[in-house]
Chains A and B, each alone.
Chain A
Amino acid sequence: MQRNLIPLLIGLAFGAAIGVGIGWLAPIGNAGAAMSALSNDNKADYAVMVGMAYARDGDWDAAQARLGALAEPDLAGYLVVVTESYIAEGRNPDDIRALAALAARSGYVTPPMIPYLPATPTGP
């Protein structure tokens, strides 16, 4: 018994370390992450792309479904924050317009957004 215990414990320790290492480095199932795991910059850029598509096709249902992939609990609030941060950072005006249109369509227009919205914005 004693003769087998020590090798067994050594094997268990090494095996567990190897197993955890492999398991974390090569996850099973849906390998890779969801859109919601993107970094803040990448999330914002994704929202910009959704906004540009929305500006082009006017399909609000599609835009909502696409934004839903970001899994933001308060999507409208998120859009306002991102839009205002883009404005504050002096980003591309076309990008700001795209985001502002989404925020406005979500029901939120803040003073900094107004210059980036059409003169007669459409309501939600």
Chain B
Amino acid sequence: MRVAPGFSWGALILGLAIGIGGGLAYAWLINPVRYENIGPRQLAATDQDQYVLMVSHAYSADLDLARAQKRLETLGQADSAAHVSALADAGYVHGSDPNDIRALTVLAEALGGHPLAAEVFSGTLPAPNNADGSATGTFEGIASLTPTSQEPSATPTPEIAVTATSTPISIPENATMKLTVLKPICVESDAAGRLEVYVVDQAGGGIAGVEIQVSWDGDSDSFFTGLKPEISSGYADFQMEPNLTYTVTLPGLSEPVVGINSADCLTETGQTTTPGYQLVFQPVGP
């Protein structure tokens, strides 16, 4: 390329420098970009975090994982599970609202993530708020489920127990069961590592004969309520192995309760033990 004699490259470069500086000042300070009609992907980082938090709360309410995934996809994150896990852990470290950490943890685990916050908040979906403002029954609140057995020494075989203890209580058609209580127990006792499941009706009466499926690490097992009537007709338990993550489902009746972790916990006396859990399922809907 030939340049006219006398062309000043220095002036050109100076002009470029001044022009770029002026252009940047105009674009950043005088007339900055205004966002309108955007998608979640274009949100600022803090607002994206808020959006993810709301996705996790919504998931806690409807347990619709496909919908939560679809919402997260709008953020354009390469690894949604890692993103949600990171937010759960950040909330855990900074002492955020436990409900927020819990919601994020539950969603992260449902997505296949492994947040550190799961050590405390794994699978612990809180009981839903009743429309009338009354408190949802806690596990302690259903103490009446434990009947006084007339034959405490008898350990019934499964066949006998089912026959003898099946009650007329039945689950209405189209009813679904929802986890209303999930209580971790960290004590040194025979209950260490025990998964205690109660299936009760709206009035708190045990429902026998309900299948419970427990799965972990590519394996699974099924059993039924009603085999230990000395505790409750709606009761069943399962012994967990240490350091695994379990999922509990009432097949066809409930969404899976994910992230039940049997990693060692610290008791009040400072001993480590395998934690146990108490879960209560109750019907929702008509």
A residues touching B (Cβ–Cβ < 8 Å)? 3-5, 7-24, 27-35, 37-40, 42, 45-46, 48-50, 52-53, 55-59, 66, 69, 94, 98, 118, 120, 122
Contact of B57 among A15, A19, A40, A49 (CB under 8 A): A49
**Using an 8 Å CB-CB cutoff, how does the interface string of B13-40 with A read, 1 for contact, 0 for none?**
1111111111111111000111111111
Q: Are A35 and B51 in contact (CB under 8 A)?
A: yes
Name which residue of chain B comes closest to A33, CB basis.
Answer: B35
Looking at chain A's contact residues, the main secondary structure is helix
Q: Are A3 and B47 in contact (CB under 8 A)?
A: no
Stretch at the interface among B125-133, B201-209, B249-257, B268-276: B125-133
In the complex, whether B138 has a CB less than 8 A from a CB of chain A is: no
Q: Are B27 and A11 in contact (CB under 8 A)?
A: no
Contact of B129 among A14, A42, A56 (CB under 8 A): A56
Given A38-B37, A122-B133, 18 further pairs, Cβ under 8 A: A4-B8, A8-B11, A10-B15, A12-B22, A14-B15, A15-B16, A17-B19, A18-B16, A22-B23, A22-B24, A23-B32, A24-B33, A34-B35, A37-B43, A38-B39, A38-B43, A53-B57, A58-B133
Name which residue of chain A comes closest to B103, CB basis.
Answer: A53
Name which residue of chain A comes closest to B68, CB basis.
Answer: A49
Q: Are B39 and A11 in contact (CB under 8 A)?
A: no
Residues A17 and B23 in contact in the complex (CB < 8 Å), given A12-B18, A39-B37, A120-B132: yes
**Using an 8 Å CB-CB cutoff, how does the interface string of B168-189 with A read, 1 for contact, 0 for none?**
0000000000000000000000
11 CB < 8 A contacts A-B: A10-B12, A16-B19, A18-B19, A21-B27, A23-B26, A32-B35, A32-B45, A37-B37, A49-B55, A49-B58, A58-B133
A-B pairs with beta carbons under 8 A, tally: 189
Name which residue of chain B comes closest to A5, CB basis.
Answer: B11
Contact of B15 among A7, A34, A35, A56 (CB under 8 A): A7
Question: What separation, in Å, do the CA atoms of A57 and B51 have in the docked complex?
Answer: 17
Contact of B42 among A4, A12, A33, A118 (CB under 8 A): A33
**Chain B count of residues within 8 A CB distance of the other chain:** 58
**Cβ–Cβ < 8 Å partners of A15 in chain B:** 15-23
Q: Are B38 and A46 in contact (CB under 8 A)?
A: no
Q: Are A11 and B132 in contact (CB under 8 A)?
A: no
**Cβ–Cβ < 8 Å partners of B51 in chain A:** 35, 46
Q: Are A7 and B54 in contact (CB under 8 A)?
A: no
Contact of A42 among B9, B11, B40, B103 (CB under 8 A): B40
Question: What separation, in Å, do the CA atoms of A16 and B17 have in the docked complex?
Answer: 9
Contact of A7 among B11, B35, B55, B58 (CB under 8 A): B11
**Cβ–Cβ < 8 Å partners of B38 in chain A:** 33, 37-39, 42
Contact of A19 among B7, B23, B47 (CB under 8 A): B23
Q: Are A14 and B71 in contact (CB under 8 A)?
A: no
Residues A4 and B11 in contact in the complex (CB < 8 Å), given A33-B43, A53-B57: yes
Q: Are B44 and A33 in contact (CB under 8 A)?
A: yes
